[in-house]
């Protein structure tokens, strides 16, 4: 046997603060030789102390790549038997870190289920018995005590001992990713042998005979869960154990997946396609057959049957032995959507969404990684699903803001999807009725392929959309959230036993308390935002930091009792509706009623079962719901989002109104949509009413061109924040000054300026936005800023770099 030469591993280390974004070299000790591969998680020592951290091996080499003869530390532990990240994932992490200005470690972690991130614990133990009785008492039960669980008194007691070296701190790195192991059994004898064993049994051994009978019904090499066998036979665990001892059967521990799908789904067959759908599927199939990394915009009006197109395209790649990835916005990952895909592809489907526990997510991830699932459906982070034979990526509702992650790594799933489509040489489909301007513009330029669905699958016309001018309403009737026209329409639908969806566009404002005498507005003590009234908890709450206090009856400023509540919240509208329509059954769906897990689904199920007449909610009811009995959709306040100082406000309003309009008349009945607005002349609202995306696109593109906004310019937002305003401001101005040195004259800097809600949780926020087309020096400057910003972070000054930010306010 030739001796194994010492090997070295390049490790990206999990040190949240002070990242160098560069791997560290570790020695692979002899006892771990041959066990360490790129893509595995390891535990290593880091720093001068005894600190242990998790790391990712990104490369293994036979030579020490370091020229300096620095003493290398060994890898202490290997956490995986096989790599958890393949070459694709490692390359993707490198790209993602650079592209989004993130640390590599956060990129690597983003690709894995949360359960695989290490849990760090620290413990204390005594190094000597020469301590006071009080201290000895503390360690009477256990040698090691968890540092986090010590009381302040206990800590005080131990503090002096640490200087004397009488105690030591131990660092533990724990892998939280635990597969659930359960007992399985397999019969180990042939039928004749079992029969023979049965004859040898003493009389009266009924249970054992029963077990032998059961074993005979099992196919020879089939492993079954013992729990299932116990349930089937009614026999206890002891009998199975005895059977194993007698050699009738073999017991083993097998990995069992936690099963998040409660109900069985009935398999459905593919529906036949309309000619237009068939053409689209044909184009996609051709690209996947040719192995082309082509991105397509699939622009299809609401109800045009995009989902059926997806399913056909997926089954085509599955037939080629390849895998498919379907991304949907978190909010539309409804049971309806899920069961549609499950019904078509059955056990081939894995699901990744926020409704699953960490353990369930880990199990689904394992199923994918082991090649047991060929189709993955999931929200944003599912774009990293480990599918080695990826043949098709689909992003439904590609314009949705939830595809952008708002903490590090600040990636947009679309960018990652394009990267993976190129890596796998497979097509990417971006589906939407209202594509983002960026995507639509690229389709026009020919960068993306452009597929269109212009007919509704059910042959019905688009619902009739009308605007209600609230300025006129106010002149003729007292101020209310629901106009006379809308009220009359609701009454009519209820009389016909049809259902109504009412949407409140809450973004930007909701009910706040103001003194009618002095104009005092009740604000959050920690944030620059007014408190919102919540009737259910009878309190005033801050939506930014969660601060909560009682509803004031006296003005804190002038002590007047004349406090009024202004604005519109779902609760207030609900109260108003109950007064206007005492017999109507109303379901409310907003952040408050959906906070509990599963509440979202429950409300929708109730509404689907016609247990309510009116579904009243915020944005979350606009997406992907499909209720055949809904014939009226009302939008109570179309324009609140328009006022926001964000160049995308108009685009969002248009998309939202178009989407919600599509909720009416999904099936046989003709739908009707009523939109209440104070700006009936605004082009976003007018064109949403006409359902004219193309004209909206042209008008908005002209606006963007004039203002120098995306898609004509790239944008990067930099935010600084600190607990005192001057420091945050000083830093952002310093960065702006440096940027001016770096940028060419064609680039622009917006700001610096305080963020519109400047103070949140007692931190002050300042920001600037860079608009540019091509800047050769910018990239290096920002990478540099990312690395040096960590030093400031330690002092509490936070710097955030966000490429192509979604929110500008």
Question: Residues interacting with DNA, by CB under 7 A?
Answer: 15, 17-18, 20, 24-27, 45-51, 66, 70-73, 122, 169, 791, 794
DSSP alpha helix (H) spans, 259-354: 275-289, 306-319, 335-345
Separation between Cα atoms, residue 448 and residue 398, nearest integer Å: 14
Separation between Cα atoms, residue 746 and residue 562, nearest integer Å: 55
555 known ligand binder: yes
To DNA, the closest distance from the beta carbon of 436 in angstroms equals 38
Q: Is 89 left (phi over 0), alpha (psi -120 to 50) or beta?
A: alpha
SS3 state at 724? coil
Judged by CB, which is closer to DNA: 25, or 233?
25
Beta bridge mates, 186 = 250
Q: Which residues of 141-174 are buried (b: 16+ CB within 10 A; e: fewer)?
A: eeeebebeebeeebeebbeebeeeebbeeebebe
Judged by CB, which is closer to DNA: 72, or 78?
72
DSSP letter at 685 equals: H
To DNA, the closest distance from the beta carbon of 239 in angstroms equals 51
DSSP of 728-767:
HHHHHHHHHHHHHHHS-TT-EEEEEEEEEEEEETTEEEEE
- CA-CA distances (angstroms) from residue 662 to 5, 28, 273, 626, 658? 66, 59, 21, 9, 6
To DNA, the closest distance from the beta carbon of 24 in angstroms equals 4
To DNA, the closest distance from the beta carbon of 788 in angstroms equals 10
524 known ligand binder: yes
Q: In this structure, is the dihedral angle defined by the CA atoms of residues 127, 130, 132 and 137, taken in order, positive or negative?
A: positive
Largest CA distance in the chain: 98
Separation between Cα atoms, residue 477 and residue 404, nearest integer Å: 43
Separation between Cα atoms, residue 303 and residue 662, nearest integer Å: 7
SS3 state at 394? strand
To DNA, the closest distance from the beta carbon of 801 in angstroms equals 20
Separation between Cα atoms, residue 592 and residue 510, nearest integer Å: 13
Bridge-based pairing state of the strands 548-550 and 119-126: unpaired
To DNA, the closest distance from the beta carbon of 29 in angstroms equals 11
542 known ligand binder: yes
Judged by CB, which is closer to DNA: 18, or 518?
18
Judged by CB, which is closer to DNA: 79, or 381?
79
**Cβ atoms 300, 306 nearer than 8 A:** yes
To DNA, the closest distance from the beta carbon of 78 in angstroms equals 16
107 known ligand binder: no
518 known ligand binder: yes
Judged by CB, which is closer to DNA: 20, or 190?
20
Beta-carbon count within 10 A of 423 CB: 15
- Cα–Cα nearest to 439, from 272, 297, 317, 545: 297
545 known ligand binder: yes
To DNA, the closest distance from the beta carbon of 170 in angstroms equals 11
**Cβ atoms 808, 753 nearer than 8 A:** no
Q: Which residues of 211-229 are buried (b: 16+ CB within 10 A; e: fewer)?
A: bbebbeebeeeeeeebeeb
- CA-CA distances (angstroms) from residue 432 to 413, 508, 570, 715? 15, 25, 28, 23
To DNA, the closest distance from the beta carbon of 113 in angstroms equals 24
SS3 state at 513? strand
To DNA, the closest distance from the beta carbon of 583 in angstroms equals 59
Extract the runs of DSSP E, i.e. beta strands, from 347-491: 349-352, 375-378, 390-396, 428-432, 449-453, 464-469
Bridge-based pairing state of the strands 630-635 and 449-453: unpaired
Judged by CB, which is closer to DNA: 124, or 287?
124
Judged by CB, which is closer to DNA: 45, or 754?
45
Judged by CB, which is closer to DNA: 44, or 215?
44
527 known ligand binder: yes
Judged by CB, which is closer to DNA: 66, or 558?
66
Judged by CB, which is closer to DNA: 72, or 551?
72
To DNA, the closest distance from the beta carbon of 33 in angstroms equals 17
Judged by CB, which is closer to DNA: 68, or 668?
68
Judged by CB, which is closer to DNA: 70, or 238?
70
To DNA, the closest distance from the beta carbon of 503 in angstroms equals 44
417's tokens: 């999807």
721's tokens: 């924040």
Which residues carry a binding-site annotation?
515, 518, 524, 527, 542, 545, 555, 558
Which residues carry a binding-site annotation for Zn(2+)?
515, 518, 524, 527, 542, 545, 555, 558
């Amino acid at each position: 046997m030739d001796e194994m030469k010492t090997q070295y591993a390049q490790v990206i280390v999990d040190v949240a603060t002070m990242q160098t974004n560069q791997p560290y070299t570790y020695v692979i000790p002899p006892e771990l030789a041959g066990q360490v591969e790129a893509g595995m998680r390891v535990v290593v020592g880091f720093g001068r102390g005894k600190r242990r951290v998790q790391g990712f091996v990104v490369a293994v080499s036979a030579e020490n790549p370091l020229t300096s003869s620095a003493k290398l530390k060994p890898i202490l532990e290997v956490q995986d038997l096989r790599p958890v990240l393949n070459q694709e994932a490692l390359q993707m992490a490198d790209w993602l870190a650079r592209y989004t200005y993130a640390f590599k470690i956060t990129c690597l972690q983003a690709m894995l289920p949360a359960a695989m991130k290490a849990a760090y614990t620290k413990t204390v133990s005594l190094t000597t018995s020469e301590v006071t009785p009080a201290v000895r008492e503390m360690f009477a039960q256990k040698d090691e005590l968890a540092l986090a669980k010590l009381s302040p008194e206990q800590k005080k007691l131990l503090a002096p001992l640490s200087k004397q070296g009488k105690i030591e701190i131990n660092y533990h790195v724990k892998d939280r990713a635990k597969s659930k192991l359960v007992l399985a059994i397999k019969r180990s004898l042939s039928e004749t042998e079992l029969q023979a064993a049965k004859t040898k049994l003493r009389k009266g051994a009924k249970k054992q005979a029963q077990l032998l009978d059961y074993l005979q019904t099992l196919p020879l090499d089939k492993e079954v869960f013992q729990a299932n066998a116990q349930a089937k036979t009614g026999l206890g665990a002891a009998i199975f154990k005895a059977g194993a001892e007698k050699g009738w059967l073999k017991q083993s521990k097998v990995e069992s997946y936690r099963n998040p799908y409660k109900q069985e789904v009935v398999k459905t067959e593919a529906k036949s396609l309309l000619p237009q759908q068939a053409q689209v599927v044909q184009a996609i199939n051709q690209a996947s057959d040719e192995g082309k990394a082509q991105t397509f915009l699939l622009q299809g009006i609401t109800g045009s049957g995009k989902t059926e197109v997806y399913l056909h395209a997926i089954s085509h790649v599955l037939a080629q032995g390849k895998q498919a990835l379907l991304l949907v916005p978190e909010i539309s990952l409804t049971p309806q959507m899920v069961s549609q895909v499950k019904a078509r592809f059955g056990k081939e489907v894995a699901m990744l969404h926020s409704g699953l526990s960490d353990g369930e997510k880990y199990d689904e991830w394992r199923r994918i990684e082991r090649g047991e699932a060929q189709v993955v459906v999931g929200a944003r982070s599912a774009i990293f699903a480990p599918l080695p034979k990826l043949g098709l990526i689909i992003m439904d509702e590609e314009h949705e803001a939830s595809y952008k992650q708002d903490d590090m790594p600040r990636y947009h799933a679309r960018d990652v999807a394009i990267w993976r489509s190129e890596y796998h040489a497979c097509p990417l489909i971006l589906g939407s009725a209202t594509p983002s301007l960026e995507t639509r513009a690229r389709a026009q330029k020919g960068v993306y392929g452009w597929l269109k669905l212009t007919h509704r699958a059910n042959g019905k016309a688009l619902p009739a959309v009308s605007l209600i001018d609230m300025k006129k309403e106010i002149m003729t009737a007292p101020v209310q959230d629901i106009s006379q026209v809308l009220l009359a329409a609701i009454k009519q639908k209820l009389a016909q036993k049809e259902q109504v969806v009412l949407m409140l566009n809450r973004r930007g404002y909701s009910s706040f308390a103001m003194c009618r005498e002095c104009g005092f507005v009740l604000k959050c003590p920690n944030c620059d935002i007014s408190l919102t009234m919540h009737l259910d908890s009878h309190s005033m709450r801050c939506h930014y930091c969660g601060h909560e206090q009682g509803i004031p009856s006296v003005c804190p400023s002038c002590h007047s009792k004349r406090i009024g509540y202004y604005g519109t919240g779902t609760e207030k509208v609900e109260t108003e509706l109950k007064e206007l329509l005492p017999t109507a059954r109303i379901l409310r769906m907003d952040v408050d009623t959906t906070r509990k897990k599963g509440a979202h689904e429950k409300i929708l199920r109730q509404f689907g079962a016609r247990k309510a007449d009116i579904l009243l909610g915020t944005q979350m009811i606009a997406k992907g719901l499909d209720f055949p009995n809904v014939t009226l959709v009302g939008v109570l306040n179309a324009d609140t989002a328009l006022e926001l100082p964000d160049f995308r406000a108009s685009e969002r309003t248009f998309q939202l109104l178009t989407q919600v309009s599509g909720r009416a008349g999904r099936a046989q009945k003709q739908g009707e949509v009523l939109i209440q607005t104070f700006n009936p002349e605004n082009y976003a609202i007018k064109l949403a009413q006409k359902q004219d995306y193309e004209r909206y696109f042209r008008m908005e593109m002209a606006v963007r061109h004039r203002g120098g906004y995306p898609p004509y310019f790239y944008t990067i937002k930099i935010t600084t924040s600190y607990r005192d305003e001057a420091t945050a401001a000083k830093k952002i101005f310093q960065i702006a000054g440096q940027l001016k040195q770096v940028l060419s004259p064609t680039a622009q800097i917006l700001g610096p300026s305080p963020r519109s809600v400047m103070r949140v949780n007692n931190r002050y926020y300042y920001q600037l936005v860079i608009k540019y087309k091509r800047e050769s020096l910018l990239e290096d400057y920002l990478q540099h800023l990312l690395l040096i910003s960590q030093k400031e972070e330690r002092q509490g000054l936070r710097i955030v770099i966000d490429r192509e930010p979604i929110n500008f306010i």
